[in-house]
């Protein structure tokens, strides 16, 4: 559960950084003019960069599984009381929640990808994405300290409806859980909504890029 929670928390920030860098490459070198001068449709570049981004995310998913397994194996060598075989038997129940976390990022990916292509500098889209991920947490902490909202479950609602904090909103169970080994999954309706919204925003970004004038 701790591996899932830590990975889900840092995933939005990793995506914001990676997506912004991918879009900034052409903006920094004025590469869009050269790319659009080629006898290839604009949609090809949009889809190919997006496909590469999804491929990188899938690779990160696989590498996380591999390196987590290696790390736990060496921990078991140092601390024999941790039974690595028992842990590996839980991986099948761990992969589904992990996959839901990744799918819940579709809206985030579409928004950040569009911002990275529309804005010519690196700081602005990166700042917007980071701010969108941190803002619900900041409000969460401030309201909690001020005692304006005392119920953790009510505070947690703020995270669920922000596409940048949705991936870790359910993994961190602020209301408390019965067991430290309990894996809290993102409900299917939130995953489906994120994928659907991501497809709509991604399609809008596709048509926006096709109409874009490069100066």
Query: Which residues are within 8 A (CB) of 199 and not within 5 positions of it... i.e. 6 or more apart?
Result: 106, 110
For 129, the token pair is 């994405």
Structure token pair of residue 8: 């889900």
pLDDT of 200:
95
The CA-CA-CA angle for residues 136, 142, 145, to 5°, reads: 135
pLDDT, tens digit only, all 215 positions of the chain = 677 777 888 889 999 998 988 877 776 666 666 766 677 777 778 888 888 888 888 888 888 878 877 877 777 777 766 665 555 566 666 778 888 888 999 999 999 999 988 887 888 999 999 998 888 777 777 766 666 665 656 666 667 888 888 888 877 655 444 455 555 678 889 999 999 999 999 999 888 887 766 55
Measured in whole angstroms, the distance separating CA 138 from the mean position of its chain's CA atoms is 18
DSSP string, 126-180: HHHHHHHHHHHHHHHHHHHHHTS---HHHHHHHHHT-TTTHHHHTTS-TT--S-T
Nearest to 183 by CA among 11, 9, 1: 1
pTM: 0.81
Domain of residue 46 covers 2-211
State the pLDDT at residue 178: 45
pLDDT in the model for residue 85: 58
**Total domains, the chain:** 1
Determine the Cα–Cα distance for residues 138 and 118; give it in Å rounded to an integer.
27
């Amino acid at each position: 559960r701790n591996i899932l929670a830590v990975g889900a928390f840092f995933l939005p920030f990793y995506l914001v950084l990676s997506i912004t860098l991918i879009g900034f490459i052409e903006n920094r070198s004025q590469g869009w003019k050269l790319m659009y001068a080629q006898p290839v449709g604009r949609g090809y570049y949009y889809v190919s960069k997006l496909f590469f981004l999804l491929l990188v995310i899938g690779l990160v998913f696989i590498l996380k599984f591999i390196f987590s397994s290696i790390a736990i194996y060496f921990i078991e060598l140092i601390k024999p009381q941790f039974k690595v075989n028992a842990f590996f038997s839980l991986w099948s129940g761990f992969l589904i929640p992990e996959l839901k976390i990744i799918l819940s990022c579709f809206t985030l990916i579409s928004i950040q990808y569009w911002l990275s292509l529309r804005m010519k500098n690196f700081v602005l889209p990166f700042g917007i994405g980071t701010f969108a991920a941190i803002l619900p947490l900041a409000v969460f902490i401030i309201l909690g300290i001020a005692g304006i909202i005392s119920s953790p479950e009510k505070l947690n609602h703020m995270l669920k409806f922000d596409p940048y904090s949705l991936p870790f909103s359910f993994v961190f169970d602020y209301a408390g859980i019965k067991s430290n080994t309990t894996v809290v999954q993102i409900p299917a309706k939130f995953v489906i909504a994120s994928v659907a919204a991501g497809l709509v925003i991604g399609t809008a970004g596709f048509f926006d890029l096709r109409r874009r004038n490069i100066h």
